[in-house]
């Protein structure tokens, strides 16, 4: 079997890349072409793999939000697995990761076959992410704590940038990850927001003290993913996150969303318990793995 791996270039290439991701990870929201092109312009590398001229897989690599790390994601369509396509993709992705000048590379795997593949190249488990799912129904109105107001970003767009300084930075610092996530303000303003009408901020004396929201899936009408939920440290444990998430669920009812998904670090017990309180149930796990560069083939 002849395997060809090349970088994406055309609109059709990005459509094919999206099609592979949707086939391999059907329950995940896939970025639209405009966002993929923006990521490519910011240093991410997108690949397509062909077996005897037929689309067989895709891959992506770029700088991770974790310090001194890159990420890789080789994906292979079911009918082409265990035939060298994944290895060919990883062999092309690894040098791009090395070129970023980082020491380690990370990936996420969700099944035993993918974990076995990762182990072959020196990856080891470092963390787990838990997916929880919520069916949207007749949603209870949020009980907003005294002194707090909840607004959408559509109502107060100037507050989204302030939310980064007042809330998101603390949220990233306190995430139960193996190292502190680094997100630049420019990334926050472009990559961490969806429809401004579905993103909500909690205010106290016009200070942003919390954020939450939904990211509707354009490829799967009726499905949305929770955006970052974070609360300023001095306001935690006072019902702000609960009120924000209930506000988002009420928005979901009004806009035809029937299912909401969220991923949470295994170590973030407080958020997972809050989700359970709201009626979320577990569906899947993703195993986070890491290896030192260069990879050995």
pLDDT score at 173: 95
H helical segments located in the chain: 11-24, 33-41, 85-98, 112-120, 159-163, 169-174, 185-191, 240-254, 269-277
Residue extents of the structural domains in the chain: 3-131+287-292, 137-257
Q: Nearest to residue 137, comparing CAs of 275, 272, 282, 260?
A: 260
Q: Are both 3-131+287-292 and 137-257 of the same fold?
A: yes
Dist CA 242 CA 237 (whole Å): 9
- Fold held by 3-131+287-292: Aminopeptidase (3.40.630)
pTM score: 0.92
Residue in this structure with the two tokens 């429809």, named with its chain if needed: 195
Kindly state the tokens that stand for 261. Answer: 């998904």
Q: Are 99 and 131 in contact (CB under 8 A)?
A: no
Q: What is the mean pLDDT of each run of 10 residues along the chain (297 residues)?
A: 96 98 95 94 96 98 96 97 96 97 96 94 96 95 97 98 97 93 93 96 97 97 97 97 98 97 95 96 96 94
Tokens of 258: 């029937």
CA neighbor of 159 nearest in space, from 124, 199, 191: 199
Q: Which residue is it, tokens 């796990």? A: 285
Residue 1 has what pLDDT?
87
User: How many C-beta atoms surround the C-beta of residue 108 within 10 A?
Assistant: 19
- The dihedral through the CA atoms of 218, 170, 141, 149 has a sign that is negative
Please give the Cα distance from 209 to 167 (Å, whole number). 6
CA-to-CA distance for 41 and 164, rounded, in angstroms? 23
Q: Can you give the pLDDT at residue 3?
A: 97
Residue pair 167/230 in contact by the 8 Å Cβ criterion? yes
The C-alpha atoms of residue 171 and residue 181 are separated, in whole angstroms, by 9
**Class of the CATH domain delimited by 137-257:** alpha beta
CA atoms lying within 13 Å on the CB side of residue 245: 25
| Separation of alpha carbons 136 and 198, rounded Å | 15
């Amino acid at each position: 079997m002849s395997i060809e791996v090349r970088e994406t270039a055309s609109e059709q290439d990005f459509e094919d890349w999206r099609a592979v991701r949707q086939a391999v990870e059907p329950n995940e929201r896939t970025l639209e072409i405009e966002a993929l092109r923006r990521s490519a312009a910011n240093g991410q590398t997108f690949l397509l793999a062909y077996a005897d001229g037929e689309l067989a897989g895709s891959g992506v690599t770029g700088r991770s939000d974790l310090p001194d790390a890159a990420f890789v994601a080789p994906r292979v369509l079911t009918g082409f697995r265990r035939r060298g396509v994944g290895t060919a993709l990883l062999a092309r992705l690894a040098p791009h990761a090395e070129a970023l000048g980082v020491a380690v590379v990370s990936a996420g795997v969700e099944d035993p076959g993918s974990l076995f593949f990762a182990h072959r190249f020196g990856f080891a488990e470092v963390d787990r992410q838990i997916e929880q799912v919520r069916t949207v129904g007749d949603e209870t109105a949020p009980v907003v704590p005294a002194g707090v107001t909840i607004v959408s970003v559509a109502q107060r767009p100037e507050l989204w940038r302030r939310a980064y300084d007042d809330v998101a930075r603390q949220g990233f610092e306190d995430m139960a990850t193996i190292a502190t996530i680094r997100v630049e303000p420019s990334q926050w303003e472009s990559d961490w927001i969806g429809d401004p009408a579905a993103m909500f901020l909690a205010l106290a004396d016009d200070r942003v003290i919390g954020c939450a929201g939904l990211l509707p899936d354009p490829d799967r009408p009726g499905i949305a993913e929770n955006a970052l939920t974070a609360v300023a440290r001095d306001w935690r444990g006072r019902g702000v996150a609960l009120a924000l998430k209930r506000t988002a669920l009420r928005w979901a009812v009004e806009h035809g969303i029937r299912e909401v998904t969220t991923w949470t670090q295994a170590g973030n017990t407080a958020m997972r318990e809050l989700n359970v309180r709201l009626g979320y149930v577990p569906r899947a796990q993703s195993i986070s793995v890491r290896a030192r560069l260069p990879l050995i083939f």
